[in-house]
């Protein structure tokens, strides 16, 4: 089985999708000849042709609209928004149109589109190359929101997203493109090689949407995480010695509540972690659900560790990013009883 980093896995997923379904079409800024600013679409145009993989004008609103129109025609567009921070001009088309087309037409039309977009911090990306806007989209009925944390899942989830007949927001943690990252920015950069989840099968396979994965079994506390924070959660468990059960949600909507509830009923406490700002972040929904469904099993308040409620700063990145020290402290608070 080949070893892939996350970029190669994402590239492989699109390669498979283009080869299996002639309706799949890929476009976005710089994704064609150049192969994308992160190389995610490298060589796809050369292999599959100019009308299957092509460059788009710098117009997120236009890209989203064209995707909706092509989807209504019967194509299966996979579009790239260069950074999640730049998705906002496309939100009217995604929220008002893609998300509601099936509903408002009672199934007469739908939007089988996938929007790929690199997100998250940890790369000195400052205010507009670091954001985690997933909570804006998880709030929208009709959209699915998917976030992988490793190469194996990235390929399987992306193929599943492309094949899904509902609109999917596919947020790629760009800090994880080349290697896992646990928040220890002062240590040497790791690569994916040697990591168990970097063994990526060739050809077609899927990781089902709506299913979480227990990454680390534990009995003391449940950690709910996704994207880069999965690795931070694992590091915090190891460094504190607290026997945490770390769950990688993988899909935020629809959410695998069953796996979450089973875990919290076992551990009796829960820490929710994400990079996005705290207030009204997706963690608030997770905390509310855990409180509602696990109230009589909870032995401590549900903790949330998130980005501060500020825009993402450049120089002060490591004071902002919820690293293993902050997560570890939350694990202790949740389990000291």
Contacting positions for other proteins (CB under 8 A): 25, 51, 57, 59, 61-62, 65-75, 77, 89, 92-93, 96-97, 100-110, 141-142, 144, 164-166, 210, 253-255, 257-258
d(CA 18, CA 50): 12
Upstream peptide bond of 254 is cis (omega within 30 degrees of 0): yes
Strand partners, 114: 78, 168
The CB-of-56 to other proteins minimum distance in angstroms stands at 8
Query: Which DSSP letter does residue 98 get?
Result: I
**Cα within 13 Å of Cα(62), Cβ side:** 8
The CB-of-49 to other proteins minimum distance in angstroms stands at 10
Closer CB to other proteins, residue 75 or residue 278? Answer: 75
Closer CB to other proteins, residue 103 or residue 124? Answer: 103
Where do the DSSP E strands lie in the chain?
24-28, 53-55, 76-80, 114-119, 144-146, 168-173, 213-216, 221-225, 244-248, 251-253, 270-277, 303-307
Closer CB to other proteins, residue 147 or residue 305? Answer: 147
What's the first-to-final CA gap in the chain, in angstroms?
46
Closer CB to other proteins, residue 147 or residue 244? Answer: 147
The CB-of-269 to other proteins minimum distance in angstroms stands at 23
The CB-of-161 to other proteins minimum distance in angstroms stands at 13
129 belongs to the catalytic site: yes
Contact 111, 166 (CB under 8 A): yes
Catalytic option among 129, 204, 314, 319: 129
Active site positions, annotated:
129
């Amino acid at each position: 089985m080949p070893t892939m980093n996350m970029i190669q896995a994402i590239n492989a997923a699109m390669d498979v999708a283009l080869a299996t379904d002639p309706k799949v079409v890929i476009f976005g800024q710089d994704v064609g000849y150049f192969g994308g600013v992160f190389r995610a679409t490298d060589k796809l145009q050369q292999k599959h042709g100019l009308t299957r993989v092509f460059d788009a004008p710098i117009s997120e609103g236009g890209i989203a609209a064209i995707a909706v129109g092509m989807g209504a025609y019967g194509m299966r567009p996979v579009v790239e928004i260069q950074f999640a921070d730049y998705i906002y001009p496309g939100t009217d088309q995604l929220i008002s149109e893609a998300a509601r087309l099936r509903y408002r037409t009672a199934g007469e039309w739908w939007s089988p589109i996938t929007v790929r977009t690199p997100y998250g911090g940890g790369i000195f990306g400052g205010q507009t190359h670091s954001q985690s806007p997933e909570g804006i989209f998880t709030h929208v009925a009709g959209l699915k929101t998917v976030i992988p944390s490793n190469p194996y899942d990235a390929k399987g989830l992306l193929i599943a997203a492309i094949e899904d007949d509902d609109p999917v927001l596919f947020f790629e943690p760009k800090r994880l493109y080349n290697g896992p990252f646990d928040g220890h920015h002062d240590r040497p950069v790791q690569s994916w090689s040697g990591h168990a989840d970097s063994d990526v099968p060739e050809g077609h396979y899927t990781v089902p949407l709506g299913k979480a994965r227990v990454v680390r079994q534990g009995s003391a506390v449940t950690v709910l995480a996704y994207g880069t924070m999965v690795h931070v959660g694992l590091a915090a468990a190891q460094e504190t010695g607290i026997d945490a059960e770390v769950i990688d949600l993988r899909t935020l909507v629809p959410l695998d509540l069953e796996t979450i509830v089973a875990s919290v009923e076992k551990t009796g406490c829960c820490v929710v972690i994400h990079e996005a700002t705290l207030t009204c972040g997706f963690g608030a929904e997770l905390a509310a659900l855990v409180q509602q469904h696990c109230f009589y099993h909870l032995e401590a308040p549900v903790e949330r560790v998130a980005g501060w409620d500020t825009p993402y700063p450049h120089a002060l990145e490591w004071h902002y990013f919820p690293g293993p020290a902050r997560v570890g402290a939350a694990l202790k608070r949740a389990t000291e009883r």
